[in-house]
Amino acid sequence: MSVPTSSFQPVLDRIAADIAARPGRGRPAGYIPALASADPRRFGMAVAELDGTVYGVGDWQHPFSTQSITKVFTLALVLSLDGDNLWEHVGREPSGNPFNSLVQLEYENGIPRNPFINAGALVVTDRLQTLTGDAAGALRAFLRAESGNPRLTFDEAVAASESAHGDRNAALAHFMASYGNITNPVPGLLGQYFRQCSVEASCADLALAAGFLARHGIRADGSSLLTRSQAKQVNAVMLTCGTYDAAGDFAHRVGLPGKSGVGGGIIAVVPGRCTLCVWSPGLDQRGNSVAGVAALDRFTTLTGLSVF
């Protein structure tokens, strides 16, 4: 994939130079053994325009573990297939607690606060499994189509690693099932969820795949995935809930809808203009890429592109 010459390229080059000069990159996600050995000095960033033109810098074509970034795409798929029925099973409010917390479920009758904490994502995957019969497969097919990368797939070693250390997710799923908010058998659902989170993709892949959110719900082939209102809903939940319990700080610094994953990736959306993905495996204490947040902060500062 070639990098066209455009105004975005000098901005990305400048950001990469700024990031290279920054001390401190955080630490990889140590609680998932398959991710713990990632090099926090790696950095990549891509910007995709509405027509699919992509610009990149650094490790922008290097596949990495997408983890919670996939929650955006499963949410969009469920909304496209089932509409607003989903919101009867999951809320749209920030949680203020860690992404794998059990606390709120206990006093909110098994209804997760939002689709991006683990409990909420399990509900979304459960709905997608019911609607498609293969939630992880539906996600992979969508990502391949939107990114144009037919080789995009799961990292089975990462999925196995998460499954072996997935007791907290199992607890979340069983607890919600006790309230009737999970309908598929929990073991099978967990398998689908861990495969979903193990998708490997590059910054270029994810920037392209998220393009429908900048195009107000329109897919790369011109067909409609979401209504304009539904695309607005997804972007709004990304802005308020997309970076775990640091969403307020992210909105303050970056000013864009975004979704992070503990693999070190973050996607961000400039509605009507472009989508971005940045990757660097070193995380802060809340699970967000240190260099990734800094790079997106720098992008909106240099370009003036923000939702505010």
Handedness of CA 117, 245, 146, 81 (dihedral sign): positive
Rounded mean pLDDT for each run of 10 residues along the chain, 308 residues in total: 63 97 87 85 97 98 97 98 96 78 83 95 98 98 98 95 92 96 98 97 98 98 98 98 92 97 97 98 94 98 95
Question: Measuring CA to CA, which residue among 36, 39, 44, 40 is closest to residue 63?
Answer: 44
Which residue numbers are catalytic?
Answer: 68, 71, 193, 244, 262
In this predicted model, what pLDDT tens digit does every residue of 53-104 receive, in sequence order? 999 999 999 999 999 999 999 999 999 999 999 999 999 999 766 666 777 8
CA-CA distance, 63 to 47, in Å (whole number)?
16
Q: Output the pLDDT for position 100.
A: 65
Q: According to the model, what pLDDT value does residue 25 have? A: 84
Tens of pLDDT, residues 252-265: 999 999 999 999 99
Other C-beta atoms closer than 10 Å to the C-beta of 235 total 21
> Rounded CA gap, 91 and 93, in Å?
6
C-alpha 73/C-alpha 139 separation (Å) is 7
What torsion do the CA atoms of 278, 225, 255, 252 make, to the nearest 10 degrees? Answer: -90
What's residue 98's pLDDT? 64
Hey, how many other C-beta atoms are within 10 angstroms of the C-beta on 271?
16
The residues facing 276 across adjacent strands are 47, 268
Determine how β-strand 274-279 pairs with β-strand 44-49: antiparallel
Q: Which residues contact 235 (CB under 8 A, 6 or more apart)?
A: 213, 257, 269, 271
pTM over 0.75: yes
CA distance 159 to 8: 35
**Distance from the first to the final alpha carbon of the chain:** 32
Encoded tokens for 180:
């009737």
- Using only the alpha carbons of the chain, give its radius of gyration: 18
Best CA proximity match to 116, nearest among 264, 244, 249: 244
Three-state secondary structure string covering the chain: CCCCCCCHHHHHHHHHHHHHCCCCCCECCCCCCCCCCCCCCCCEEEEEECCCCEEEEECCCCCEECHHHHHHHHHHHHHHHHHHHHHHCCCCCCCCCCCCCCHHHHHCCCCCCCCCCHHHHHHHHHHHHHHHCCHHHHHHHHHHHHHCCCCCEECHHHHHHHHHCCHHHHHHHHHHHHCCCCCCCHHHHHHHHHHHHCEEECHHHHHHHCHHHHCCCECCCCCECCCHHHHHHHHHHHHHHCCHHHHHHHHHHCCCCEEECCCCEEEEEECCCEEEEEECCCECCCCCEHHHHHHHHHHHHHHCCCCC
**What is residue 1's predicted lDDT score, i.e. its pLDDT?**
39
